[in-house]
Amino acid sequence: MIRTATPADVPAIHAMVRELAEYERALHEARATEEQLHEALFGERPAAFAHIAETDEGEVAGFALWFLNFSTWRGVHGIYLEDLYVRPERRGGGHGKALLTELARICVERGYERLEWSVLDWNTPSIDFYRSLGALPQDEWTVYRLTDEALTKLGS
């Protein structure tokens, strides 16, 4: 059901990134191309990793895209889950849990001490799902982001 993504999966991953962006009401912000995803996942210096959830028939049901982070407090790497997405018609079939289970297995196997991600505060179905797995919200932290003009202004 869960496997490491291959270059042939890039079109499906790209399509699901756009589906996720639409669900999150931010399709206009999803500018990544298939070529960019291919380079990030399979280029000379991969910066990200992906796993695919498949149905018994081999149909792509969802994906997880992640990268390594590092905790100065723990002194070890962790996994930051950038995207977890299961297509609506495949939800409830265990694909999301299987993807998270695989990432947790990788953490345990490699000695990583954190698996973390962000979720929109209005996404109650996902929040309820994550809590059912034992995940805890980090309510005391607020995410900040620099993009576009603000990033260019600060970096120039």
Residue-by-residue DSSP string for 90-152: GTTSSHHHHHHHHHHHHHHHHT---EEE---TT-HHHHHHHHHTT----TT-------HHHHH
Query: Catalytic residue at 130?
Result: yes
Options 80, 112, 130, 144, the catalytic residue: 130
> Using an 8 Å Cβ cutoff, are 113 and 107 in contact?
yes
Kindly list the distances between the CA atom of residue 124 and the CA atoms of 6, 82, 86, 128, in Å, as whole numbers in the listed order.
32, 18, 15, 6
> Using an 8 Å Cβ cutoff, are 64 and 81 in contact?
yes
List the catalytic residues: 130
